[in-house]
Structure 1
């Protein structure tokens, strides 16, 4: 992702404000070292990477490692076992995950960091679809479609009698969870005969080269590749209007597949200076333009302030303000 000079200056100003803008404060921050380990959502990954890039300019002695594992995969394999400090998430933590974390001595702290518009994409040569309803999406992606709805004409007889090739996230993804719950209407319910991957760029590449392909992923990946694939409008079930996915329609609430994005921080990890400063930096810069530049909807000023208030209260509780 390209970072702009304005964003870097905003990030630098934010860091200076946090440190009190004093020379001694700058010296203290320059001396911070250590590692921040992050796993989780492929959707949130671009935001966290962008934040990490700016953070690393100001704190070169801190190593920030970010891996895209899927929301559920990150919780299960890395965050709950205590192998990382932060888990990116494109859905709220499940009760079962929360209980497993607490049983392992991990207390997750939730921060809302933005909003996404889950995007359905097709090949740019697809000239038979511009808008889809939830009913049509369910007919294509629902579990009953497995082995039965295999051609475009199986969905609509006016569509080509050609084999349909489907690409999407795996069941360990928060995007998968959101899609199955909000589109299909049942958490985890999804057709089995599709190409599942945690690499969103793989979905982009597959749809780009295949006229009869379809996929779904986060808005940022579409916006970065809008010259390669075509986004499908989704019919808002309340208004009946076909709405294009965008930052604006996600912010207004018109787009029916808008969803919240989170980071979950291990409370114990906040005792580490590097993690503490990274989380402060992350939350301070949610309105600096980074979230929008990546391709997501930023949180409001009120949410930003609530996040920082929560963080400060926890730091006070831990005795590491």
Structure 2
């Protein structure tokens, strides 16, 4: 397996990726699921947080099954579910559980699906390395900073010893599951500060925060890991995100699971989709570790494979 943390630091996932060979199939190759020489197309969309895991899996899968073309977009968890509901994709990546209204829309559309958990993430609050005053924030500090209250937010509002400088905010776009999760557990459904720069592309957020010592933002842990030379992670109530605190849940309330949702009809009718999802579940743990997320215990992937096999 290539060094995915290094690869992410160079070029993390763009707005979409399309990996997979269109040439001739080597019928002697097999996936670990035992399917030789599979051919076809598979499409997915969704969370940019989940994208680093999927980017690595898709690229390595292309070497195993060159006859399968897999395309994955990154329009955000909500945007991905919109396409999934329309029947445009075989799977949808999500950094939050599916919402009741999304599940209802899928039922109305006659689409049955299966949820597969891929990894754990610790939603990371970050500032520039040039910021030499912020080391730790409480959940209440985060809410004071990020909730729109009509005021101009300054660092000195949190601590009078900090600079009397306006805070510059960067946040995932409103279609992002990361936005939804932060909104639920930190903002408690109040409005996000209106001055924030929003983007579905986490790389845009990374670059903005890197360039401004007064900036603050949040995104998935893997994006911090890939850019830790130029970003500083902020501990929350004294707990810094790392593999141990994320897996244990000590990094609360910002630890969360990452998912992909698969269309059951695609899994049963499209051999390529079934084979790709099998490969995904067999390799998600190693890839999560490689890109900077936290793998599930092996039994989590075994349960997913059992659910998948029951659909065949």
Q: Common fold, TM-score beyond 0.5? A: yes
User: For residues 160-179 of structure 1, what are the alpha-carbon distances to aligned partners after superposition, in whole Å with 9 as ceiling and x for unaligned?
Assistant: 11121100111111001111
Question: What corresponds to 1:11 in structure 2?
Answer: none
How far apart are the structure 1 equivalents of 2:184 and 2:135? 23
User: For residues 238-262 of structure 1, what are the alpha-carbon distances to aligned partners after superposition, in whole Å with 9 as ceiling and x for unaligned?
Assistant: xxxx111112221122211110000
Which secondary structure state, in structure 1, belongs to the residue aligned with residue 127 of structure 2?
Answer: strand
How far apart are the structure 2 equivalents of 1:143 and 1:314? 46
Is contact 2:41-2:70 (8 Å) kept?
Answer: yes
TM-superposed deviation, 1:17: 4.3
Which secondary structure state, in structure 2, belongs to the residue aligned with residue 276 of structure 1?
Answer: helix
Residues 60 and 95 of structure 1: CA distance in aligned 2, closer, same or farther (over 3 Å) = same
RMSD: 1.7
TM-superposed deviation, 1:216: 0.3
**In the comparison of the two structures, how many residue pairs are matched?**
286
Q: Does 1:36 align with 2:42?
A: yes
Q: Does 1:177 align with 2:180?
A: yes
Q: Does 1:284 align with 2:282?
A: yes
Which secondary structure state, in structure 2, belongs to the residue aligned with residue 171 of structure 1?
Answer: coil
Describe how 1:292-307 pairs up with structure 2 within 5 A: 292-307=289-304
After alignment, is 244-253 or 56-65 more displaced?
A: 244-253
User: For residues 240-291 of structure 1, what are the alpha-carbon distances to aligned partners after superposition, in whole Å with 9 as ceiling and x for unaligned?
Assistant: xx1111122211222111100000001111120110100011111233x211
TM-superposed deviation, 1:122: 0.4
Is contact 2:77-2:93 (8 Å) kept?
Answer: yes
**Alignment partner for residue 88 of structure 1, among 87, 93, 100?**
93
Unaligned runs of 5+ in 1: 5-14, 20-27, 236-241, 316-321
Question: What corresponds to 1:249 in structure 2?
Answer: 245
Question: What corresponds to 1:70 in structure 2?
Answer: 76
Is contact 2:31-2:279 (8 Å) kept?
Answer: no
TM-superposed deviation, 1:64: 0.8
- TM-score for both structures, normalised by structure 2: 0.88
**Alignment partner for residue 60 of structure 1, among 63, 66, 69?**
66
User: For residues 107-148 of structure 1, what are the alpha-carbon distances to aligned partners after superposition, in whole Å with 9 as ceiling and x for unaligned?
Assistant: 22100111001000101111111000000000011132xx41
How far apart are the structure 1 equivalents of 2:223 and 2:36? 34
Is contact 2:77-2:177 (8 Å) kept?
Answer: yes
How far apart are the structure 1 equivalents of 2:155 and 2:228? 23
Q: Does 1:155 align with 2:170?
A: no
TM-superposed deviation, 1:156: 2.5
Residues 66 and 17 of structure 1: CA distance in aligned 2, closer, same or farther (over 3 Å) = closer
